[in-house]
Amino acid sequence: MKTKRILLGILLSIGVFATSCGSDDNEGETIIPIQGKYNLSQQGTIIDGKEVLTDAPQNAAGCNRDYLDLRLSNTAVIGDYSGSNCSLVETTGVYARSHNDLTITVGNVSSTSDIMNLTNKELKLKDKTTGVITVYTR
């Protein structure tokens, strides 16, 4: 009986030790895959410490919402609907993700944003240069 208690104590100690020593290499980093098609939803900035977001003015009235399509091949496709006939213009570039930074390059122009939120339903970016916050939804 005493042997069973000692063995049980050792097993419990190992279990507690193993769960307390878990690696947290992703601290502050979201691990949801970023690939997917996101519809442009809102845009804004931080004023007096609070996010102020409005419907994205780039979305033309009566048209589908503009979008950002991040593909597995690291290709970024930016879709822009405009004009009275809602014609679609797609611009293609590349993207790179490094921890919580997303850099999109189209031609010779690059922009880097902080990934503020990434879930299965939302991608929220904050441009590192301008501070503009852009919210995309799936």
Interval 65-94: pLDDT, tens: 999 999 999 999 999 999 889 999 999 999
DSSP string covering 25-53 = TTTT---S---EEEEEEEEEEEETTEEEE
pTM score over 0.95:
no
Residue 129, pLDDT > 60, answer yes
Residue 103, pLDDT > 70, answer yes
Cα angle 95, 123, 79 (rounded to 5 degrees) comes to 60
Residue 27, pLDDT > 50, answer yes
Residue 14 — very low, low, confident or very high, per pLDDT cuts 50/70/90?
A: very low
Cβ within 8 Å of residue 47, ≥6 positions away? none
Interval 47-67: pLDDT, tens: 999 999 999 999 999 999 999
Average pLDDT, the chain: 84
Domain annotation for the chain: domains and CATH numbers: 32-137 (2.40.128.280)
Q: Report CA torsion sign: 29, 91, 69, 134.
A: positive
Residue 96, pLDDT > 70, answer yes
Q: In this predicted structure, what is the pLDDT of residue 24?
A: 45
Backbone angles phi, psi at 33, to 5 degrees: -60, 140
